[in-house]
A and B are shown apart, each in its own frame.
Chain A
Amino acid sequence: MIKRMIEVGYPAPRFDAKAKVTGEEKFAIDYSREGMLWAGARRAGVAHAIIRKIDISKAAALPGVYAVLTRKDVPGTNRQGIVHKDQPVLAGSRVRHCGDAVALVLAEDRDVLEKALGLIAVELEPLAGVFDPEEAMRSEAPLVHESGNLLHKAVIRVGDARGAFEECDVVVEDSLEVSAQEPAFLETQNGLAWQEPDGRITMIVSTQAPFRDRFEIAHALGLDVEAIRIVSPCLGGGFGGKDGATVQCLLALAALRARGRPVKMRWGREESFTAGYKRHPVRMRYRVGAMRDGTLHAVSCRLIYDTGPYAHLGVEVMALGMEHACGPYRVPNTLVEGWCVYTNNPISGAMRGFGVCQASFGIETMMDQLASKLGLSPLDIRLKNGLRRGDTNGAGVTLVHSTGIVACLEGLGVHRLWKDRAKWKSEAGPQKKRGVGIAAVSNAMGYGRGLPDSAIARVELTKEGKIRIYSGVPDMGQGNSSGFIQIAGQTLGQDDSHLEIIQPDTDLAHPSGSSSAGRTTYTYGNALIPACEDMKEKLLHRASLLLMLDQPCGLVLLPGKVKHLPSGREVPFELLGRMFSQTDRIAVKHFVMPVAQDNPDSAKEFRLGFPHVLFSYAAHLVYVEVDELTGKIDVKDYLALTDGGRVINPACFDQQVHGAVAQGLGYGLMEKVLTERGKILNPNFTNYIIPTSMDVPDITSVCVETVESTGPFGMKGIGEVGTNAPLPAVAAAVEDAIGRRLRRSPLTAASVLGALSGRGAAR
């Protein structure tokens, strides 16, 4: 094995890269076991109905079918959900969206499974559905749940926005709308589970939240949390869509029935679209007021989140969106109102950007309109209002941590792509219009107040003398595992040949929360450092005993050994590994993320997830070229400046920025989940188009290094912030090119042509 330099700050190749380029890396989907059954769900196929009868007799009689289960076979509450337990594992009396599972089949192979699913006769009595969140709020609307269609209403109030508008020199108003986005990870939802002879369930599953999954399964199926073991190999992408149970409850139910036989469940791509969680569609109404010099004075907005038939993390997504509704700006008077509404549309839930993507389009559009009305440049108005440490943000939280938005914007202002923009625009060819747009965004880190954002790191000196990290948070591709190797290597003075990492296994690691919320590396890394320091102290002390030193002085950790520098004597880790007792070889430490200490006198409706105190920031710039004949928008160049504190691995940092921009461009330009009466019309990659290598330009990623003194080696999470800026930046660039503002995403060629011909969303 090549010994790699893995110092913090060095762009070391990811430790998992070799296994992934050779095909050795095993994802959940790659696991199989002798005697394995296949499980599959029969989906409702209609958006809203009463279930009259489910006839499983033909399916159950098919040779090769092991079992067919329906609602009556579900022990426990039959209710899954992360915070709100409102989603049935198997729907028994009522269907609330097309993806509801009404029966579960276990079969000897996949051909039989498919045949059996088709033989289940589901008798449904259709109900009128509700597919528009505003209609859903009317009193006469069909009810998705008996408790009403309004899942949650909340208000954030700072100062006196209503009164403050009277004092403004200019006020701009607008309505905007964003559609759902599919996470579209390449590895669809899947897992393998079996019941152990002692009755426990073991599940290898593609999940972002192994520890929480146990609670979700236990609650739904009436099991003991301790009776469930979740193993989480590297994910083939997650992006929020694997945060919360996907296959987990169905698979555990199947395993309970399979009498020790392993069961595999894999959602096909269409099922992944139909039953999976998407980014919330949001309707926004904004009003923003400023003084003549561009100083923001008041923001009011109304945000309506369509969460589909089940909450998933809808309330928390809305909370974060509302918290960011005033952008990374100083606004003394704000009134942010939000409604999270049930409909019979596909389920909305967590997705990278977590409510902030949508609100960023809102506030950034308003900032451009203000700038244009006041004759200011879009950069100047943002610089003027950009948050600085010590300011109070639009949610009433005092910023006492690293706050780098002004540094990002200043960096943008001196970059050649900003300085050369006029020249580049003037060089557009015939029938082409060019434009340049910018956006400034932030994204909070962590769970926010009300839910401790905690991790417990476990490090072990193995018998072979390796330092082993038991990760408690999955690696869905963002590279947190590599970050952990670097953090441990730095703390213990090791190269990568003496370090190994075990992906999360709830029997081996300690509860450390989910891989989400820009908190994965920050929180676990902050627990890992003291765990490694504890291990270091042990190694030095035990080596000093072996060396018969009166005082443990002059000892250092070198790769694979302890060395006594004054005498030159060495103790290899192998020796210590053999010598350590089982209890001694382990170091465990925890960390809890700081939360806001202010007590804003509003938004009390949010029990958890509001407010936050740590934020990453970014400023993006985009060059677009619009074809006047076809309306096609081509992204020609892209610049992203990101404040993520100190960087642990610059290569992984750029990976995250590039990927976030690409997903943001997909969101902005092409991705739209088309539905008709709640049924997805494009549940596949043939018709739901995500960016290919032809659609994403080269991206310049600039790291604006602040120091986050609470972060591991000064870092902050940056996985999400980059997805928030592409849509508003592209919309601004398109307006710069064609003189029309598009207010509804995605910004398709058809919408450009509509705007050019004076119809639709023209200014």
Chain B
Amino acid sequence: MKISFTLNGKQTGVDVSADRKVVEVLREELMLTGTKEGCGAGECGACTILVDGRARLSCLMTAAQIEGRSITTIEGLSQNGGGMHPVQEAFIENGAVQCGFCTPGMVLSAVDLLDKNSDPTREQIREGLSGNLCRCSGYVKIVDAVEAAALQIRREKAR
């Protein structure tokens, strides 16, 4: 089946079976390996992508479900406007990256979270990221990073 969608800002078409998992379409057909798969069952959040701006689990979506939608993967987040997204910058600066396998999904969930709430409390950040497992960090520096990114985004908007 031919599927057409916007991928990281570009019109894209792939010919795959309609029930192919989106995470596989991205990783194996389009070679965008930044999206990770940790469980294949919607439990770990590593495969999080943005679908029309909202965080979604690409291991639970089939190719047919992205027809006509706009998809942003971690590779596309940094392409928007050239530089890195403030969440990515904050993850680097705040030591929120360890093994890095959860990082793409975690970053995209954080982007979605800050889009919905530009000034979250630490508790709200923890709640917003609770669908993304990280086995390395204990989450402390990830929460720090999202807090810092929120501040940065508010500053940029105020400018």
Chain A residues packing against B (C-beta within 8 Å) = 11, 13-14, 16-27, 29-30, 32, 183-188, 234-237, 239, 268-269, 476-479, 651-652, 654-655, 658-663, 684-686, 690-694, 696, 698-699
Other 8 A-B pairs with CB < 8 A, given A22-B88, A24-B34 = A21-B92, A22-B74, A187-B101, A234-B100, A236-B36, A477-B100, A659-B98, A692-B130
Contacts of A14 in B (CB 8 A): 92, 95, 97
Q: Which residues of B contact A478 (CB under 8 A)?
A: 98
Q: Which residues in B have their C-beta under 8 angstroms from that of A18? A: 84, 92
Residues of A within 8 A of B143 (CB): 693, 698
Residues A685 and B41 in contact, CB atoms below 8 Å apart: yes
Contact, CB under 8 Å: B126 / A663: no
The complex places the Cα of A29 from the Cα of B46 at a distance, in Å, of 13
CB distance from B37 to the nearest CB of A (A): 8
A684 is contacted by which of B33, B36, B39 (Cβ under 8 Å)?
B39
Q: Is the CB of A690 within 8 A of B92?
A: no
- B5 interface residue (CB < 8 Å to A): no
**Distance in angstroms between the alpha carbons of A185 and B133 in the assembled complex:** 10
Q: Are A21 and B44 in contact (CB under 8 A)?
A: no
Distance between A444 CB and nearest chain B CB, rounded to angstroms: 22
Give per-residue flags for B127-159: 1 if the beta carbon is below 8 A from chain A beta carbons, else 0. 101111111111111110000000000000000
Which single member of B75, B91, B142 contacts A23 (CB below 8 Å)? B75
Distance in angstroms between the alpha carbons of A320 and B140 in the assembled complex: 30
- How many angstroms from the CA of A692 to the CA of B45 in the assembled complex? 11
1/0 contact string of B99-136 vs chain A (CB within 8 Å): 11111100100000000000000100111011111111
Contacts of B77 in A (CB 8 A): 22
Q: Provide the residues of chain A in CB contact with B133, threshold 8 Å.
A: 186, 685, 690, 692
In the complex, which residue of chain B has the Cβ closest to the Cβ of A666?
B135
Q: 5 tightest CB-CB pairs across the interface, nearest first?
A: A23-B34, A477-B99, A236-B101, A20-B100, A662-B138
The answer to whether A698 touches B122 (Cβ under 8 A) is yes
A186 & B41 in contact (Cβ 8 Å cutoff): no
Residues in chain B near residue A184, CB distance under 8 A: 135
A30–B33 CB distance below 8 A: yes
B93 within 8 Å of A (CB atoms) = yes
Q: Is the CB of A186 within 8 A of B97?
A: no
- Determine whether the beta carbon of B107 is less than 8 Å from that of A21: yes
- Pick the contact of A658 from B37, B84, B99, B137 — CB < 8 Å? B137
Determine if B43 is an interface residue (Cβ-Cβ < 8 Å). Answer: yes
B73 at the interface (CB under 8 A from A): yes
Q: Which residues of B contact A187 (CB under 8 A)?
A: 36, 38, 99, 101
In the bound complex, residues from chain A placing their C-beta under 8 Å from that of B135 are 183-186, 237, 239, 659, 663, 690
Contact at B101–A237, with CB atoms within 8 Å? Answer: yes
A655 with B139, Cβ < 8 A, contacts A17-B91, A185-B99, A236-B99 known: no
Which residues of the other chain, A, contact B101 by a CB distance below 8 angstroms?
27, 185-187, 236-237, 477
B141's contact among A29, A30, A476, A654, by CB below 8 Å, is which?
Answer: A654
Q: Per-residue 0/1 for B36-60: is the Cβ within 8 Å of any A Cβ (1 yes, 0 no)?
A: 1111110110100000000000000
Ordered by A's residue number, 23 sampled pairs between the chains whose C-beta atoms are within 8 Å are A13-B92, A17-B95, A19-B100, A20-B100, A21-B100, A22-B74, A22-B77, A23-B34, A27-B101, A29-B36, A32-B31, A185-B101, A185-B135, A186-B46, A236-B99, A658-B139, A658-B140, A663-B135, A686-B43, A690-B133, A693-B143, A694-B130, A698-B122
Closest to B79 in A: A22
Most buried by A among B32, B35, B104: B104
Bound complex: CA A618 to CA B43 (Å): 33
Q: What's the nearest-Cβ distance from chain A to residue B110, in Å?
A: 11
CB <8 Å contact, A21 and B35 = no
> How far apart are the CA atoms of A234 and B107 in the complex, in Å?
19
Q: A690 CA to B133 CA in the complex, in Å?
A: 8
* B80 on interface, CB distance cutoff 8 Å: no
- Report yes or no: B140 in contact with A26, Cβ–Cβ below 8 A: no
Q: Which residue of B lies closest to A685 (CB)?
A: B43
Q: Are A20 and B136 in contact (CB under 8 A)?
A: no
What A residues does B78 contact at CB under 8 A? 22
Given A26-B33, A32-B28, A21:B91 Cβ within 8 A: yes
| Interchain CB contact under 8 A, A16 and B40 | no
Cβ contact within 8 Å between A186 and B75: no
A236 and B143 CA atoms in complex are apart in Å by: 20
Q: List the B side residues contacting A188 at CB < 8 Å.
A: 38
Expressed in whole angstroms, the minimum distance between the Cβ of A19 and any Cβ of chain B is: 8
User: Are A658 and B92 neighbours in the complex by a CB distance under 8 Å?
Assistant: no
Q: Which residue of A lies closest to B104 (CB)?
A: A23
CA distance A22 to B32 in the complex (A): 11
Bound-state Cα–Cα, A237 to B137, Å:
11
Residues of chain B with a CB closer than 8 A to A186's CB: 36, 38, 44, 46, 99, 101-102, 133-135
Neighbouring A residues of B102 by C-beta, 8 Å: 186
Q: Assess A658 versus B141: contact at CB under 8 Å? Given A13-B92, A17-B91, A692-B133.
A: yes
- Kindly state the separation between the CA atoms of A161 and B137 in the bound complex, as whole angstroms: 41
A663 CB contacts on chain B under 8 angstroms: 135
**CA A13 – CA B88 in complex, angstroms?**
12
Rounded to whole angstroms, the CA-CA distance of A439 and B31 in the bound complex is 48
Given the complex, which residues of A lie within 8 Å of B88, measured CB to CB?
Answer: 21-22
Which residues of B are found within 8 Å of A655, using beta-carbon distances?
A: 95, 98, 136-137, 141
Q: Are B122 and A20 neighbours in the complex by a CB distance under 8 Å? A: no
The docked-state distance in angstroms from the alpha carbon of A479 to that of B143 is 19
Is the beta-carbon distance between B104 and A685 smaller than 8 angstroms?
no
Assembled-state Cα–Cα distance A239/B37 (Å): 19
A40 to chain B, nearest CB (A): 14
Interchain CB contact (< 8 A) of B33 among A23, A268, A651, A692: A23
* Cα A34 to Cα B39 with chains together (Å): 25
Q: Which residue of B lies closest to A21 (CB)?
A: B88
Partner of A693, one of B37, B92, B129: B129
* Other-chain residue from B31, B32, B84, B99 in contact with A237 (beta carbon distance below 8 A): B99
How distant is the Cα of A13 from the Cα of B27 in the complex, in angstroms?
28
Closest to A268 in B: B40
Do the beta carbons of A662 and B130 come within 8 Å of each other? no
Residues of A within 8 A of B129 (CB): 693
What is the CA–CA distance of A686 and B43 in the complex, to the nearest angstrom? Answer: 6
Partner of B43, one of A237, A268, A660, A684: A684
Is A13 in contact with B95, judged by CB distance below 8 angstroms? yes
**Which residues in B have their C-beta under 8 angstroms from that of A662?**
137-139
Shortest CB distance B127–A (Å)? 7
Give Cα distance in the complex from A476 to B99, angstroms: 6
Complex contacts, B97 vs chain A, CB 8 Å: 14, 16-17, 20-21
Interface centre among A11, A27, A239, A659 (most CB of B within 10 A): A659
Please indicate the chain B residues that have their CB under 8 angstroms from the CB of A11 in the complex. 95
Q: Which A-chain residue is minimally distant from B24 (CB atoms)?
A: A110
Shortest Cβ distance from residue A634 to the other chain B in the assembled complex, whole angstroms:
13
Task: Report how far A180 CA is from B46 CA in the complex, Å.
Answer: 25
Please report the C-alpha to C-alpha distance between residue A19 and residue B88 in the assembled complex, in whole angstroms: 10
- Distance from A25 Cβ to chain B, minimum over Cβ atoms (Å): 6
Q: Which one of A20, A652, A686, A694 contacts B127 once the chains associate, using CB atoms below 8 Å? A: A694
Cβ–Cβ < 8 Å partners of A237 in chain B: 99, 101, 135-136
- Name the residue on A nearest B32 (C-beta): A23
Nearest A-chain residue to B73, judged by Cβ? A23
How far apart sit A476 and B35, CA to CA, in the bound complex (Å)?
19
- Given A14-B95, A187-B36, A684-B39: A699 and B140 interface contact (C-beta under 8 Å): yes
Q: How far is the CA of A27 from the CA of B102 in the complex (A)?
A: 12
Contact of A694 among B46, B92, B104, B126 (CB under 8 A): B126
Cβ of A185: which chain B residues have Cβ within 8 Å of it? 99, 101, 135
Complex Cα gap A26–B31 (Å): 12
Name B1-26 residues within 8 Å CB distance of A. none
**In the complex, A239 Cα to B137 Cα: how many Å?**
12
Chain A residue numbers with a CB within 8 Å of B44 are 186, 685
A476: chain B residues within 8 A (beta carbon) = 99
Tell me if B39 and A269 are in contact (CB < 8 A). yes
